[in-house]
Amino acid sequence: MSVIDTIKEQIESNDILLYMKGTPRFPQCGFSSRASEAVMGCGERFAFVNILENPEIRAELPKYANWPTFPQLWVKGELVGGCDIICEMGESGELAELIKEAAAASGDAEAE
């Protein structure tokens, strides 16, 4: 499987996915720390990929996403944005709404 196929599979199989440096509990950069805190603040489970442990994804995702930086938040297969966008949405309440909708939709799918 190519790196792009791996990225596509990760995005398709996780309704809420954060590509970041480090992990939510141990972020390895300030931007990833702020972004993961904003997502965790929404109170829903989410998947993450530590790009520091996945150099191929780190190299290919910016080209695939047409977004040059990390972190990157993907919800329901759509790129939401990076740290500034995530944090702005977190402050306005828009992020919690988006994440809760995605989590509820995935919960409905699992119950069927």
Binding residues for [2Fe-2S] cluster: 29
| Count of structural domains, the chain | 1
Q: Is residue 109 included in any domain, yes or no?
A: no
Is 70 a domain residue? yes
Mean pLDDT of 92-108: 90
**ω into residue 55 within 30 of 0, thus cis?**
no
Q: What is the pLDDT of residue 1?
A: 87
Q: Which domain holds residue 98?
A: 3-104
What CATH number should be reported for the domain holding residue 78? Answer: 3.40.30.10
pLDDT of residue 82: 98
Is residue 61, in this structure, part of any structural domain at all?
A: yes
Residues belonging to the binding site for glutathione are: 21, 58, 70, 83-84
Produce one character per residue of 4-38: b if its CB has 16 or more CB atoms within 10 Å, e if not: eebbeebbeebbbbbbbbbbbeebeeebbbbbbeb
* Confidence (pTM): 0.93
112 located within any domain: no
- Report the 10 Å Cβ neighbour count for 112: 4
**Which parts are annotated binding residues?**
21, 29, 58, 70, 83-84
Please write the tens of the pLDDT for every residue from 40-97: 999 999 999 999 999 999 999 999 999 999 999 999 999 999 999 999 999 999 999 9
* Cβ atoms 81, 75 nearer than 8 A: no
Q: Measure CA 96 to chain center.
A: 13
